[in-house]
Amino acid sequence: MKPLFVLLLLLLLLDLAQAQGVLHRVPLRRHQSLRKKLRAQGQLSDFWRSHNLDMIEFSESCNVDKGINEPLINYLDMEYFGTVSIGSPSQNFTVIFDTGSSNLWVPSVYCTSPACKAHPVFHPSQSSTYMEVGNHFSIQYGTGSLTGIIGADQVSVEGLTVEGQQFGESVKEPGQTFVNAEFDGILGLGYPSLAVGGVTPVFDNMMAQNLVALPMFSVYLSSDPQGGSGSELTFGGYDPSHFSGSLNWIPVTKQGYWQIALDGIQVGDTVMFCSEGCQAIVDTGTSLITGPPKKIKQLQEAIGATPMDGEDLVDGMQFCGSGFQGLDIQPPAGPLWILGDVFIRKFYSVFDRGNNQVGLAPAVP
């Protein structure tokens, strides 16, 4: 039996190596975050006040905030975007590839909100492959929301074309939330249970239509401050050149977000949180590492951070901020820690739907 086992293992590794040669890479572009954009325009404090957010900025010594719930700004801080094409002929949109949600949506030509006027909009009448579905959808992002209708069309991502993909066409994006956003829409890469309206997510259709060699995708976020050169989302496998050592595979504990169990959170040599275990999600749609506000405040204090109120800011100063932020996710979904881009830049992340696990390894700078 032993020689047979070795032979099967070698065949499995050979199959994996061959599959790894068929990777579909989506370049990700790093843009200036909304927080930095508004700060440069002198509008950041006004934005916070308009959304009833008691936000804190940070001084040159990396003073940090007191842990505020701001789920939407995490989306607007997102700096890595890619391009998708919808319809025939193609209509292009800049989207966040978001493992923390499961719907694809873009602005509709029928949207009259200021945010839609500031971004490309989808014209269903200009696509020969468009199919009307007509169901209404609504998505709430904490301090912002959008509503619209669901349509279906072919969706292409760097040579991968999904046929009959249902997606949201937003007709209302109220307020100023998405007006200044660098992205046009969001492409969710979470599990189907998160999808609003019972829509099948894009990656699920990729698997069903046999467009990927392996039922997995991976994310590499370059730490290069000059545009994030080399950042990419890879469908159908992973690229060993982006990480060192071996991937550590962690089982998904709940199939909605890419949720995993943490054994503990250590600061220095001391386990400060989750000593008895806790839950976290690996989320490309969140810029920072977030956790329950009280615990984040304790963590900030442990690393020597002190707050500086936004009203005390002086134009021309250089600021740096903590990579941690308080975010209160209520039961039954929470409490959850979120391992966002700050974490993913350090750890190459593989999202394996075939085995429902997340692979992590130190990213190569």
Q: Which of 98, 153, 204, 341 is catalytic?
A: 98
Contacts of 246 (CB under 8 A, 6+ apart): 361
- 148 closest CA partner among 166, 160, 163: 166
- 222 closest CA partner among 314, 340, 120, 341: 341
Rounded to a whole number of angstroms, the CA Rg of the chain reads 21
Q: How far apart are CA 86 and CA 161, in angstroms?
A: 9
77 given a catalytic annotation: no
- 153 closest CA partner among 113, 199, 99: 199
| DSSP class per residue in 60-117 | TT---------HHHHHHT--EEEEEEETTTTEEEEEEEETT---EEEEBTT--SHHHH
Q: How many CB atoms lie within 10 A of CB 350?
A: 24
Provide the 3-class DSSP secondary structure of residue 262. Answer: strand
- Asked if residues 217 and 193 have their Cβ atoms less than 8 Å apart, the reply is no
CA 6 to chain centre: 39
Q: Which of 184, 283, 341, 352 is catalytic?
A: 283
352 given a catalytic annotation: no
Q: How far apart are CA 77 and CA 6, in angstroms?
A: 48
Instruction: Please provide the distance, in angstroms rounded to a whole number, between the alpha carbons at the two ends of the chain.
Output: 43
> Which residues form the catalytic set?
98, 283
